Amino acid sequence: PFFDRIELPGGKLVTILQIDIDPMDSTKVRVRFDLREPSDSSSTLIYPRGARRELSPQQSVKYRIHRSPIRSNTAPLTLPKGIAIDFNYSGVGLTGSQFSNAAGTNNIAVIFGPDGRVSRYIDSAGRQHIPAGQLFFCLGDLAGVRPDDIYANAGRDRANINREKSTWIVINNQTGRTFTAPMTSVSGGTLTIAASAAKLAQTLREARFLASLSDKVEGF
């Protein structure tokens, strides 16, 4: 779950538990949180403890409120029949496969910040991360989604990594710009499902080579 948070001096983030009007002064708003971040909200304390006093302008404390992300109101995109996003090869950076079912079966989420950039993402293991590079999603044929053999390279059911028409959907983590790019052919014709993680990383690096040149990412 996501919650609104308040950032205090020094960069500490704490969850906002309640925002209401001060019953003693309707011109003031109270923000309730706990610096200890307890698991039991009933033990939450109101800070500062003890008698409250109003700060003078010279004693003002700077803060920033981070709003909880919400789903985009853009209509969901429906892919044509027979087309799918193949998470076997999807992930972050040139070699990442964080969205593969091999890591878990949780829903994938990409969260954009107010400035448009990708603030964080949730991988298939359900963990949140700040993206260190571009996000790559493999768009290919439904028949090419081969979790049983991600390097299949024969017949009509060959894997999407070996299909000429497979395409990358790329999200620039620094700007949020989304674009498509062709998949570079890979040289792993003899790879098997038992290939090591290092070999998969090498294959993804080859397949994403052209896509990585299609958009500039600062610090990547």
The whole-number pLDDT of residue 55 equals 64
User: Which residues are CB-neighbours of 71 under 8 A, at least 6 positions away?
Assistant: none
Give pTM, 2 decimals.
Answer: 0.68
The domain limits of the chain are 5-66, 83-214
CB 16 within 8 A of CB 33: yes
Closest alpha carbon to 183 in 159, 208, 205, 162? 208
In the predicted structure, residue 218 carries a pLDDT above the cut 50: no
- Token representation of residue 196: 């090591």
The whole-number pLDDT of residue 97 equals 92
**Residue with structure tokens 């609104």?**
4
The whole-number pLDDT of residue 104 equals 82
- Please tell me which of 59-73, 111-125, 181-195 the model is most confident about, judged by mean pLDDT: 111-125
Alpha-carbon distance of 188 to 3, in angstroms, equals 45
In the predicted structure, residue 34 carries a pLDDT above the cut 80: no
5-21 in b/e form (b: 16+ CB < 10 A) is: bbebeeeeebebeeeee
- Token representation of residue 159: 């894997």
Q: Which amino acid is at 1?
A: P
The whole-number pLDDT of residue 195 equals 52
The whole-number pLDDT of residue 188 equals 59
Stretch 48-77: mean pLDDT: 71
User: Which residues are CB-neighbours of 138 under 8 A, at least 6 positions away?
Assistant: 85, 86, 87, 88, 89, 90, 160, 161, 166, 167, 168, 169, 183
Mean pLDDT of the chain: 81
The whole-number pLDDT of residue 194 equals 47
The whole-number pLDDT of residue 36 equals 67
The whole-number pLDDT of residue 219 equals 37
Query: DSSP assignment of 88-152, as one string?
Result: EEEEETTT--TTSTTS--PPPEEEE-TTSSEEEEE-TTS-EE--SS-EEEEEEEGGG--TT-TT-
Torsion of the alpha carbons at 159, 160, 164 and 170, rounded to the nearest 10: -160
Q: Which residue did the predictor score with more confidence, 172 or 41? A: 172
* 132-181 pLDDT, tens digit each: 999 999 999 999 999 988 989 888 889 999 998 999 999 999 999 999 99
Query: Which of 172-176, 180-184, 187-191, 211-215 is the least confident region?
Result: 187-191
Alpha-carbon distance of 160 to 210, in angstroms, equals 16
Stretch 28-44: mean pLDDT: 63
Query: Which of 39-48, 134-143, 201-210 is the least confident region?
Result: 39-48
Stretch 71-92: mean pLDDT: 88
